[in-house]
Structures are given as structure tokens and as C-alpha cells.
Amino acid sequence: MAKAILKFLSRRKRRISSRKSIRRIPKGVIHVQAGFNNTIVTVTDVWGRVVSSSSAGNCGFRGPRKGTPFAAQTAAVNAIRTVVDQGMKRAEVMIKGPGLGRDAALRAIRNSGIRLTFVRDVTPLPHNGCRPPKKRRV
């Protein structure tokens, strides 16, 4: 019985320190997913663990305004603000999607003070696509 109490106390002590304040991230990856209706910006470390994320809908834009370049710019600034405080200096940018927010988000990332090592377009392209349905007979 006494051992169980000791285990519980040791587990409790471990949780006291905050993990977010300790974490220093010098390099990361910024993923921008720009659709026609929304823009999602996710910042990860080099191992792919999400550090910060934001979207146009998360920033308070609703309806057709979510797909605008200004909404994408606001989402990018919100996502990057937290990681700059954690010490991020360099980043790679992966842009996916055909939306209007692509250029605006990239412009906001450039102006944030983070040095970009490279910018890559990772939009998925179908090589031959799915098999079409059979011909319609009337």
C-alpha cells in the first residue's frame, strides 16, 4: 500500500514543470494548406510534431471571407507568432492547394523574420486518376 502512494507522489512531481516553456525550436517546417474555402497554417518541428497551428476560420473569419488572401495572411501571422517566441530562426515551407491564400501566407511568413531555407509546392497531382465510370446507355 505504501509503494502505491510513493508512486503517485513521484508522478505528481514530474508534472509540475511546464513543457512549452522548456521547448526551444531552432528549425521547423511550415505547412500551408490553401483551399478555396479556407487556409490552414501548421508549424511543426523537423520530426513532424505540431508546435502551432491556425486557420482563417480560427482567426474569426466566417463564410466566404475565409478564402480571402487577408484571412490567410492573418492565419499565418497567428501561427508563426508563438514559434518565434520559442526561438525559431529557420524554416522550410510546404505549400499545398490551389487557393487564393497561397501567396498571401507566404508573404506573411517572409515578413515574420524567419529565414526560409526552401519553399516547396506539394500539391497532389493525379497521374492518371481513378478509372472513369462505364458509359451511360439510354
Residue 2, amino acid: A
Confidence of residue 17 (pLDDT cuts 50, 70, 90): low
Residue 11 lies in a domain: no
pTM for the model stands at: 0.77
Answer yes or no: are the C-beta atoms of 97 and 72 closer than 8 Å: no
Which residues have a Cβ under 8 Å from the Cβ of 108 and sit 6 or more positions away?
72, 73, 76, 77, 80
* Mean pLDDT taken over the chain: 87
Q: How many domains does the chain have?
A: 1
Answer yes or no: are the C-beta atoms of 61 and 68 closer than 8 Å: yes
Task: Read off the pLDDT of each residue in 5-27 and give the average, rounded to a whole number.
Answer: 61
Residue 130 lies in a domain: no
Q: Domain of 67: which CATH number?
A: 3.30.420.80
